[in-house]
Amino acid sequence: MKKIKSDFILKKPNILLLPLVGMALFVALYLLAAFTYPGGSWVFPNKDGFSFWHNYLCDLLDIYAINGEVNSARAYSIAALGLLCMGLFWLWYYLPKLFNTKSLNQKVMRVSGLLSLLIILFLASGNHDKIVRIAGFFGVIAFITCSIELFKSGYKTLFLFGVLCLLVFMVNYYIYETGLFISSLPVIQKITFTLFISWFIGLDVALYRKVLVRKKLSAMETP
């Protein structure tokens, strides 16, 4: 049996589950933020509370709510975004270990994904449109390169799920830039986030299982 290189084997594989913790905390804190949001949407500026149908997730990051009140949800949403990006940063850094062979494409995948996550952290700075476009550019590169690797390595389900996420993301971006069907964008945005989180969970679980298998095989080869 061919000896597995030790650098593919993490001494503590359980640390690969940290992205799941980050995603779970993101969901919990964003729900808390939604419940504490003062109110107002672009459709109903004076309506109390957060509307699933009319508010964007980014509304929770603003200093002031759309109804003019100080946004009491901001601290929760910033914490949620930070924890999500930290968890996904951890996942994307180790993601190349999911694949059996190394390639330049994986390096592009890692760098573009990490850059996208770092840039997204600045969403709360107020330059929303610019941040979305720059992070989206690097994010698309990361998604395409990751999908190529998934396809080459035989992860058909994750590959198809990734392609679906990318297509839905492009629909979001098209609506955002053109204004067509803009009234449906808040709901589509939340569906997109759900799909992305589900895909990231799938990637993380696959990576964790892969590392466990490699560690087990390595232990069998050790005298």
- Using N-to-C axis directions, what is the helix angle for 156-178 and 128-152, rounded to 10°? 160
Q: To the nearest whole number, what is the mean pLDDT of the chain?
A: 91
Looking at residue 5, what is its pLDDT?
Answer: 43
Q: Is residue 9 part of a domain?
A: no
Asked whether residue 126 is domain-assigned, the answer is: yes
Decide if 6 is inside a domain. no
- Whether pLDDT at 154 is above 70: yes
189-197: average pLDDT? 95
List phi, psi (to 5°) of 122.
-90, 10
Domain that holds residue 121: 17-221
At 49, give phi and psi (nearest 5°): 80, 175
Q: What is the mean pLDDT of residues 154-172?
A: 95
Min mean pLDDT across 3-7, 79-83, 112-116, 154-158 is at 3-7
DSSP letter string, the chain: -PPPPGGGS-S-GGGGGHHHHHHHHHHHHHHHHHHH--B--SS-TT-BB--TTT--GGGGGSSB-TTSSB-TTHHHHHHHHHHHHHHHHHHHHHGGGGSSS--HHHHHHHHHHHHHHHHHGGGGGS-HHHHHHHHHHHHHHHHHHHHHHHHHTT-HHHHHHHHHHHHHHHHHHHHHHH-TTGGGHHHHHHHHHHHHHHHHHHHHHHHHHHHHHHHHHHHHH--
Cα Rg, the chain, nearest whole Å: 19
Q: Is residue 8 part of a domain?
A: no
In this prediction, residue 212 carries a pLDDT of 87
pLDDT in tens, 106-119: 999 999 999 999 99
In a domain, 71, yes or no: yes
Give the burial class of 24: count Cβ atoms within 10 A of its Cβ; 0-12 exposed, 13-18 middle, 19 or more buried: middle
**Residue 143: which of 208, 80, 95 has the closest Cα?**
95
Average pLDDT on 134-140 reads 94
Number of neighbouring beta carbons within 10 Å of residue 131: 18
Residue range 172-190, pLDDT digits in tens:
989 988 999 999 999 999 9
Whether this prediction's pTM lies above 0.85 is answered by yes
| Cα separation, 92 vs 66, whole angstroms | 34
Q: How confident is the model at residue 7 (pLDDT cuts 50, 70, 90)?
A: low
In the predicted structure, residue 1 carries a pLDDT above the cut 50: no
Please check whether residue 11 lies inside any domain of the structure: no
Instruction: Give the rounded percent of residues in the chain with a pLDDT score beyond 70.
Output: 93
Nearest to 17 by CA among 207, 218, 193: 207
Q: Is residue 201 part of a domain?
A: yes
User: What number is the average pLDDT over the span 61-90?
Assistant: 96
Q: Mean per-residue pLDDT for 43-60?
A: 94
Average pLDDT (24-43) is 96
| Number of domains forming the structure of the chain | 1
Average pLDDT over residues 87-109: 95
